[in-house]
Homo-oligomer: A and B are copies of this chain.
Amino acid sequence: MSDKLELDPLFNKIDELKPQFIERLRQAVAIPSVSSDESLRPKVVAMSEFLVKELKKLGFHDIQSRELGTQPPPVADPNLQLPPIILGRFGNDAKKKTVLVYGHYDVQPALLEDGWNTPPFELTHDKTKDILYGRGSTDDKGPVIGWLNVIEAHNELKWELPVNLVVCFEGMEESGSLGLEELIGREAKQYFNKVDTVCISDNYWLGTSKPVLTYGLRGCNYYQITVNGPGADLHSGIFGGIIAEPMTDLVKVMSQLVDSAGNILVPGVLDMVAPLTDKENALYTDIDFSVEELNAASGSNTALHQKKEDILKHRWRYPSLSLHGIEGAFYGAGAKTVIPAKVIGKFSIRTVPDIDSHKLDQLVFDYVNKKFAELKSPNTLKVELIHDGNYWVSNPFNEAFTAAAKATEHVWNIKPDFTREGGSIPITLTFEQQLKTDVLLLPMGRGDDGAHSINEKLDISNYINGCKTLGGYLHYYGRG
């Protein structure tokens, strides 16, 4: 690279501090901050206190632990307090750009009995593979601690940080980010007033060997279809053949939503999808991925596409429709001769540019109602949206992505893949819309880290090179 910055002292210092960085992550993983387990709520709070203490030690200022009040139902304890959102600043120089860093300090549940090879809340260093095992190692304590490590390295070097840093760490990400959206809205013109860009390190490489930067996420519109028939569940011996069965109608309608090749059958949906430009099309060729990786991830040979490019396009830039299940029907093992009186089919559509969410709803409603009308059934049908969350796509050639790409190439000696993800991180869009800034997704871990599974891990190389990438990003962005 022609414009490579001189970052060797920083990277060498990060290498030198590796034992301290592992120790800091060990202390964080040791706190079982499981947000979905009410009995562990004090540990989530303890984790917030640990972060506040670290921020203070590192020289952050304006540190705030924002209380969010009681958790709304359903909860066992009606007085259960939400864990606070931790805010802090490092530097406040009007001449510098300001980067907001988001991360979460809560984790998924984990029990040794689930099948872990090591105690989940003891960070375990496998020295033959150079891997750190532990709940939260990659999701998201590794990246959160990574940002602190970057500051420590600067402090040790007595280097000035090239940007003003604002941190926003929440403790409810694994449980719906309760309270975060409101806080972002409130603080957009307050605490987050001068933020120029947002960086989130809470996703993963696509595969296991090549770093990526993520510039897109699909949205999700979740629907349900309720078919109502008799006043109560009936016996199929007595009523079978003489009354219209809601399950028959529902299954007929659900069968016409998507075909076995994954094509959405609701007319008009594909018409809204942004056309594939030659420029975008060319992006997929270089991405490091294969159908074998997909098959390994799904544990089967049930891929709908065999070509890497087709798989990626269908995961990232085309919508999909999944049938999730039916509420109200018989779902147990064995045989029950029931005619369910009221059944509720659940399905969702993953949305992409330029699908208009409300227009999509209308297309779905019209189509479902039309298909039901064709059945001429005396039952009644209602189709409705349960929730929606918009897709997000950024410009991978903007200032933040360009800086992150330079830093990544500097650290890893390879240009990163620009990827999108099939799932949703709704808070990404909230930051973008409320702060009116770009958002960069800059992952630290690998695609096989097992974020929500047993034996969650973070390779040491990803941890240490990840710290260098985060730090390098601040320099390339700050001087860009």
A: residues with CB less than 8 A from B are: 218, 220, 222, 224, 229-232, 234-245, 247-249, 251-252, 254-256, 258-262, 294, 297-305, 311, 314-315, 318-327, 329-340, 346, 348, 350, 375-379, 386-387, 421-424
Contact = CB atoms under 8 A, between A and B. Distances in A.
Given A220-B337, A229-B298, A238-B423, 11 more contacts: A222-B335, A229-B300, A230-B300, A236-B320, A236-B350, A240-B422, A243-B302, A302-B377, A322-B337, A327-B333, A337-B348
A349 B441 CA distance: 54
Contact of A324 (B297, B298, B336): B336
A438 B346 CA distance: 50
A241 B262 contact: yes
User: How many copies of the shown chain assemble into the complex?
Assistant: 2
B247 A262 contact: no
A226 to B, nearest CB: 12
29 contacts: A220-B237, A222-B335, A224-B335, A229-B298, A229-B302, A231-B300, A236-B320, A236-B350, A238-B421, A238-B422, A239-B298, A240-B321, A241-B422, A242-B262, A242-B303, A243-B298, A243-B300, A243-B303, A244-B262, A244-B302, A251-B255, A255-B255, A300-B378, A324-B336, A325-B329, A325-B330, A325-B338, A327-B332, A330-B346
A230 B297 CA distance: 9
B423 A242 contact: no
Contacts of A218: 237
Q: Shortest 7 CB-CB distances between A and B: which pairs?
A: A231-B299, A237-B423, A241-B320, A325-B330, A325-B329, A255-B255, A240-B320
Nearest to A378: B302
Contacts of A240: 320-322, 348, 350, 422
B242 A314 contact: yes
A297 B242 CA distance: 12
Nearest to A423: B237
B331 A326 contact: yes
Contacts of A232: 299
A247 B315 contact: no
A327 B322 contact: no
Contacts of A234: 298
A305 B240 CA distance: 12
Nearest to A330: B325
A386 B314 CA distance: 38
A241 B315 contact: yes
Contacts of A335: 222, 224, 324, 346, 348, 386-387
Contacts of A243: 294, 298, 300, 302-304
A338 B332 CA distance: 18
Contacts of A249: 260
A311 B248 contact: no
A334 B251 contact: no
Nearest to A296: B231
A228 to B, nearest CB: 8
Contact of A301 (B315, B332, B378): B378
Contacts of A236: 220, 320, 322, 324, 348, 350
Contacts of A386: 334-335
Contacts of A334: 386
Contacts of A314: 241-242
Contacts of A336: 324-325, 346
A378 B303 contact: yes
Nearest to A291: B242
A346 B326 CA distance: 13
A260 B247 contact: no
A375 B251 CA distance: 16
A262 B339 CA distance: 13
A325 B331 contact: yes
A230 B299 contact: yes
A376 B262 CA distance: 12
A348 B239 CA distance: 13
